[in-house]
A = this chain, B = another copy of it.
């Protein structure tokens, strides 16, 4: 049911309202707050967005959302340090497992040992993909000479043509599942290339040590967000989903949310596109913006964690990392926290598997996931002390992970408007990043860019604009 506004008259004028208290919105708030009057509106009862801690019965916590940082993510390491947090490297010793035809084969590094023909095939396809990805300008993928060609086909079509063996295609698709939480047919080839390039390379995105899965954060990535939120005090409004954003004749914005309304000069939307789409804009946003968001669905991922008394698989020289052709859990990691006793196995249900298990009885899901763990690591894995999973597609304020995907035709038809402000409305969130799109690092980069835009816009404010000394923090607060 709709609620009555708690304001009878338009409220005091803020400089910036930020919608969404994920890591991107919080970073934007943090950067702007020393100089501007701001507010952050968050739909949930918690901050963090796609980052979230789960607390086990024994008091230990685990990231049940985004969790990794790795080399090249300089903003993230800086933030972690600034906030006084520490990282540890994911356990990456011992042998990985390739599970196939009901048995596991040990291997080391990113690429499993498979028969030489398939291995060569996979290696060639990856090399070709990387070569193409390196040629992409991530700030404008649509300007690439081959943008039209690459954007009119799916990654699946490209794999079909490029890989000679089914095995190479299967393994490539598992990697894609792990990186995108989607099937190769859901992605434009151009988007896959852009995405890989935005995080340096596909190999970087697939790797643990030296790659995107290298480090974890003690206290959880959501802990970073909680810390950032604490700095905001009353400027942060939880349980405040935004219903509508209205532009007034004087150019200011009226932001209506459950429980109130705020007025501001500039707005930063730090939301994934599927959430931004739900807000009613008046006047409507340009059609290209709206249609772009209609074309950016989120991936599908269920993150599953089992806690054991100790990481027993290490005794057998296993890393805990699995690549499984058979699934439904195709990718597994040792998610144990350094310095804690518990052993944690973490597996992803991604793409098609996530869609299937999203509609399934949680008990069946648990059983099937633990069956996978038991196949990979022996029957001891079937009886953890605790089990938890999170279906991010079912979270009403996320509705899919890890990030929004671009099907074919979107980058070339709509991409040039992806990050541009629409008047006083600016875009943050990892989907507005040119570096590390889909990652926390991208969320920070997009926030910085949006903040820069807002600073510039407020500085350039014409003299005829509503009187407001932008640099003064002592003005009465809303």
Instruction: Enumerate chain A interface residues (CB-CB to B < 8 A).
Output: 1-5, 151-154, 156-157, 160, 182-186, 243-244, 246, 254, 256, 258, 261, 274, 277-278, 280, 284, 286-288, 290-291, 294-295, 297-298, 300, 351-352, 355, 358-359, 391, 393-394, 396, 399-400, 407-409, 413-414
B394 touching A358, Cβ below 8 Å:
no
Residues of the B chain whose Cβ atoms lie less than 8 Å from the Cβ of A399: 287, 290-291, 294
- Closest chain B residue to A148, Cβ basis: B185
Contact of A153 among B153, B274, B394 (CB under 8 A): B153
CB atoms of B1 and A152 under 8 A apart:
no
CB-based contact B154/A153 at 8 Å? yes
Alpha-carbon separation in the docked complex, A278 to B154 (Å): 28
Q: A284 with B153: in contact, given A2-B243, A3-B2, A297-B291 (CB under 8 Å)?
A: no
Contacts of A352 in B (CB 8 A): 413
- What's the Cα separation between A4 and B258 when bound, in Å? 12
Having A4-B4, A284-B394, one finds 7 other A-B pairs with CB under 8 Å, namely A2-B243, A3-B4, A277-B278, A287-B393, A287-B400, A291-B393, A294-B298
Main secondary structure on A side of the interface with B = mixed
* A391-B351 Cα distance, complex, nearest whole Å: 35
- Given A2-B256, A393-B287, decide whether A152 and B152 contact each other with a Cβ distance below 8 A: no
A186 with B409, Cβ < 8 A, contacts A1-B261, A152-B154, A277-B278 known? yes
Nearest B residue to A260 by beta-carbon distance? B2
Set of chain B residues within 8 Å of A5, measured between Cβ atoms: 1-2
- On chain B, the residues within 8 Å of A300 by CB distance are 287, 291
Q: How far is the CA of A408 from the CA of B246 in the complex (A)?
A: 35
Residues of B within 8 A of A359 (CB): 286-288
Q: Are B151 and A185 in contact (CB under 8 A)?
A: yes
